[in-house]
Amino acid sequence: MTPAATAARRSDPSIATETGAWWYGRSIDSFLEGRDNSFNLLRFLGALTVLFSHSFVLSGGVQAKEPAQPIIGDHLSALGVHAFFAISGFLITLSAMRRPNAVRFVVARLRRIYPGLMVCVALTVVVAGFFLTSMPAFDFFRLGATWEFLWGNASLLGVRAAVLPWVFTDNPLPAWVNGSLWTLPYEMICYGLILGLILIRGATRPGIRLGFLLAGCIVLSVGVANAESLQQWLPMAPGPAVGLRYMQTFLAGALLAAASKRLRLSGAMLTLAIVVVAGCLWFHYFGWLFKCAFAYALIGLALLPGGPIRAFNRLGDYSYGLYIYAFPVQQSLVFWFPGVSAIGLFFAAAGISLPLAVLSWHAVEKPMLRGKLRMTSNPAKPASL
């Protein structure tokens, strides 16, 4: 093949989905047609990582150490959450660029987050009232703290209300009922940033879009540096510094989406990004270099031609249900089986949480998303925008 023919082949969108074409190096946008990606699988693995990480602290207390923690300098759960935010930033920004309608954007985001969350929180309160508290059920449901937990967590307006009356008080990590929910308000704030981009009509204007997102990066960097002064405004545990760092990862993914028509994706660049991520973890560095390389690596892996692994997309997006159900399931198992090992807790909790996630997806989340897809249908969008 002549050099001219090779160049023409590389620029032809019709070959974007061929397995060999991926190695030529193409714009990210050219890989995004249809649902030929592994975003659902990567998010599911991220949720499993969070479940695995939480198994150590929930079975052994805050002093428990994960096997990989001394190597990477953080909990594995942090990597799982960074993955959620990076992928979310990429897909949500891409959705806003393709369908820059503020009302539809807000409705779509609410449909994705709240139905599954409300069912999870309500089910947690019911199970706790009848099976997990030492109080009589009648008294449990009369207490204001019970309703504070229900309202605060289901609305995401008071996730600091993480304690139910006399529930899990003797567990190694006492009182906490669902410690995973604290990240969701930060996710919603990120959605607000992208909504702002739509409102200023910058979603379809590359210059405004890039400037807006870069300004957001600067603001978040200032926020991380002054996190203590933000405690009263962002009280969600474990504190605003951690939450703002996850938001930075969201913006790293958003920047990749914003530049998706010009930024190239290739095997060489993906390899380099993975090496950079590994080096950052080895040196316990989690700054912007890590976040951008991590987001690029995730997007590259999601779009890498995967053959049979693409079949996972046909199963559904179970990551959200797994994420919100795993923590209360783990605490319940520790409550019923004191002394359970971290590995035993991981497998037992996964065996219970996964069916709950599957049920949540098919009975609650997917029906609500059908309504979203009717409003924002686009046959060329990635899965689970």
pLDDT digits (tens, 9 = 90+) for 154-206: 998 875 567 898 999 999 999 899 999 999 999 999 999 999 999 998 888 99
Q: What is residue 134's predicted lDDT score, i.e. its pLDDT? A: 87
| H or E element in which residue 264 lies | strand 264-265
Chain-centroid distance, C-alpha 283: 24
pTM of the model: 0.89
Helices 267-282 and 288-303, packing angle to 10 deg: 140
Q: pLDDT confidence of 47, banded at 50, 70, 90?
A: very high
Q: Is residue 216 part of a domain?
A: yes
| 27 or 342, which is more confident | 342
pLDDT digits (tens, 9 = 90+) for 66-90: 888 888 988 899 999 999 999 999 9
Q: Is residue 25 part of a domain?
A: no
Q: Is residue 167 part of a domain?
A: yes
pLDDT digits (tens, 9 = 90+) for 222-258: 988 877 766 666 655 667 788 899 999 999 999 999 9
pLDDT digits (tens, 9 = 90+) for 116-151: 999 999 999 999 999 999 899 999 999 988 998 999
Q: What is residue 379's predicted lDDT score, i.e. its pLDDT? A: 37
φ and ψ of 163, to 5 deg: -110, 130
Q: What is residue 10's predicted lDDT score, i.e. its pLDDT? A: 42
Whether 355 shows a pLDDT value over 80: the answer reads: yes
Q: How many domains does the chain have?
A: 1
Distance CA 117, CA 269 (A): 37
How confident is the model over 274-300, as a mean pLDDT?
96
Q: What is residue 383's predicted lDDT score, i.e. its pLDDT? A: 44
Q: Is residue 161 part of a domain?
A: yes
Distance CA 325, CA 223 (A): 30
Six token digits for residue 265: 């994706």
Whether 13 shows a pLDDT value over 90: the answer reads: no
Q: pLDDT confidence of 64, banded at 50, 70, 90?
A: confident
Domain that holds residue 76: 41-262+272-375
- Judging by beta carbons within 10 Å of its beta carbon (0-12, 13-18, 19+), is residue 307 exposed, middle or buried? exposed
How confident is the model over 282-299, as a mean pLDDT?
96
pLDDT digits (tens, 9 = 90+) for 24-35: 678 898 888 766
Closest CA to 310 of 299, 302, 322: 302
Q: Is residue 98 part of a domain?
A: yes
pLDDT digits (tens, 9 = 90+) for 200-225: 988 889 999 999 999 999 998 998 88
Whether 340 shows a pLDDT value over 80: the answer reads: yes
Round the average pLDDT of the chain to a whole number and report it: 86
Q: What is residue 158's predicted lDDT score, i.e. its pLDDT? A: 72
Q: What is residue 150's predicted lDDT score, i.e. its pLDDT? A: 92
How confident is the model over 5-18, as a mean pLDDT?
44
Is the separation of the CB atoms in 91 and 382 below 8 Å? yes
Q: Is residue 36 part of a domain?
A: no
Q: Is residue 361 part of a domain?
A: yes
Rg for the chain (alpha carbons), in Å? 21
| H or E element in which residue 27 lies | strand 26-27
Q: What is residue 6's predicted lDDT score, i.e. its pLDDT? A: 41
Question: Given CA atoms 377, 301, 251, 365 in this order, what sign does their dihedral have?
Answer: positive
pLDDT digits (tens, 9 = 90+) for 316-330: 899 999 999 999 999
Buried b (16+ CB within 10 A) or exposed e, 121-144: beebbeebbeebbebeeeebbebe
Q: What is residue 223's predicted lDDT score, i.e. its pLDDT? A: 84
Distance CA 247, CA 183 (A): 10
Q: Is residue 33 part of a domain?
A: no
For residue 27, what are the β-bridge partners? 264
Q: What is residue 162's predicted lDDT score, i.e. its pLDDT? A: 72
Is the separation of the CB atoms in 382 and 28 below 8 Å? no
Closest CA to 75 of 67, 87, 83: 67
Is the separation of the CB atoms in 154 and 118 below 8 Å? yes
